[in-house]
């Protein structure tokens, strides 16, 4: 389906657009990296940028990603349930790496270890960007209104190789 067609039907259909937004896609000109990724060599580790677009009311399964991740919300609101990856042995996963547990109503008879896992709740509004650390489990619940977000994924870095370029690159940028 073309993006034009998606825009014509998404409000009346139960569809969700998930699309890589990388050159030569003309929409890459509309996406700005957050200041924190403009220095220190982060751009050398970028993996992909993905647009998530729906009429609202969408939910993800509990899962984790193999990349560092910043989710920037352009429209709508989201709630994220976050679980530190150090509790991975307590999060039941299927063979594809997803949890079948309903995070909003956990069946503690079926998933008893989830009742013992500490979790965090984050709320996002349009204009917010939220860092999701490498391998942290998360469940995303989008508001009932239109949602448009961009995920920026990059490979894990164990050191910041070019720290000295941070201040000059970001000092004149708007917040």
Contact assessment for residue 6 and residue 51, using Cβ atoms and an 8 Å cutoff? no
Q: What is the pLDDT of residue 36?
A: 80
Rounded average pLDDT over 18-24: 84
In a domain, 50, yes or no: yes
Mean pLDDT estimate for the chain = 88
DSSP secondary structure letter of residue 59: B
Mean pLDDT within 54-73: 93
Q: Count the domains in the chain.
A: 1
**Is 175 within a domain?**
no
The CATH number of whichever domain residue 154 belongs to comes to 2.60.120.650
pLDDT given at position 25: 80
Decide if 174 is inside a domain.
no
Range of the domain at 50: 3-169
| Position with higher pLDDT, 123 vs 163 | 123
With 80 as the cut, is the pLDDT of residue 70 above it? yes
> Does residue 28 sit within a domain?
yes
Q: What is the DSSP string of 92-112?
A: ---TTSEE-S-TTS--TTT-G
């Amino acid at each position: 389906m073309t993006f034009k067609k998606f825009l014509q039907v998404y409000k009346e259909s139960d569809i969700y657009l998930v699309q890589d937004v990388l050159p030569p896609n003309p929409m890459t000109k509309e996406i700005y990296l957050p200041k924190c990724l403009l220095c220190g060599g982060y751009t050398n580790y970028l993996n992909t940028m993905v647009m998530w677009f729906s009429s609202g009311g969408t939910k993800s399964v509990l899962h984790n990603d193999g990349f560092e991740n910043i989710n920037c919300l352009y429209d709508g609101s989201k709630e994220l349930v976050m679980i530190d990856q150090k509790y991975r042995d307590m999060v039941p996963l299927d063979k594809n790496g997803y949890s079948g547990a309903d995070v909003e109503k956990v069946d503690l008879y079926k998933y008893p270890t989830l009742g013992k896992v500490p979790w965090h709740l984050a709320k996002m509004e349009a204009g917010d960007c939220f860092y999701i650390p490498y391998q942290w489990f998360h469940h995303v619940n989008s508001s009932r209104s239109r949602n448009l977000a961009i995920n920026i994924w990059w490979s894990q870095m164990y050191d910041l190789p070019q720290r000295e370029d941070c201040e000059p690159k970001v000092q004149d940028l708007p917040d």
